[in-house]
Amino acid sequence: MERLIEGAGKLGMKLTTGQVKQFELYYQELVEWNKKMNLTAITDYSSVQVKHFLDSLTVTLALPEEVTSPDFNIVDIGTGAGFPSVPLKILFPEPGLVLLEPTRKKTAFLHHIIGKLALKNVEVLNSRAEEAAHLPAYREQFALVLSRAVALLPTLVELALPFCRIGGTFIAQKKGEIGEEVTRAKEAIAVLGGALRQTRKVESDEFADARYLVIIDKIHSTPGKYPRRPGVPKRRPI
Smallest distance, Å, CB 128 to ligand SAM?
Answer: 4
Smallest distance, Å, CB 80 to ligand SAM?
Answer: 3
Q: Is 14 helix (H, G, I), strand (E, B) or coil?
A: coil
**How would you list the strands of the sheet with 211-218, edge to edge?**
122-125, 96-100, 73-77, 142-148, 164-175, 211-218, 194-201
Nearer CB in complex with ligand SAM: 168/233 = 233
Helix, strand, coil percentages, rounded to 5, for the chain: 40, 20, 35
Smallest distance, Å, CB 228 to ligand SAM?
Answer: 11
CA dihedral 35, 31, 160, 229 (to 10 degrees): 0
Nearer CB in complex with ligand SAM: 3/175 = 175
Q: Is 161 helix (H, G, I), strand (E, B) or coil?
A: helix
Smallest distance, Å, CB 207 to ligand SAM?
Answer: 14
Pairing state of beta strands 142-148 and 73-77?
A: parallel
Nearer CB in complex with ligand SAM: 150/215 = 150
Nearer CB in complex with ligand SAM: 152/191 = 152
The residues that touch ligand SAM, with contacts defined as CB under 6 A, are 77-80, 83, 100-103, 106, 128-130, 148-150, 159
State the sign of the Cα–Cα–Cα–Cα dihedral 197, 192, 157, 178.
negative
| H helix or E strand, kind and range, residue 55 | helix 55-57
Smallest distance, Å, CB 59 to ligand SAM?
Answer: 11
Q: Which amino acid is at 18?
A: G
Nearer CB in complex with ligand SAM: 38/183 = 38
DSSP code of residue 221: P
Nearer CB in complex with ligand SAM: 106/211 = 106
**Of 194, 219, 171, 136, the residue nearest 62 (C-alpha):** 171
Smallest distance, Å, CB 43 to ligand SAM?
Answer: 13
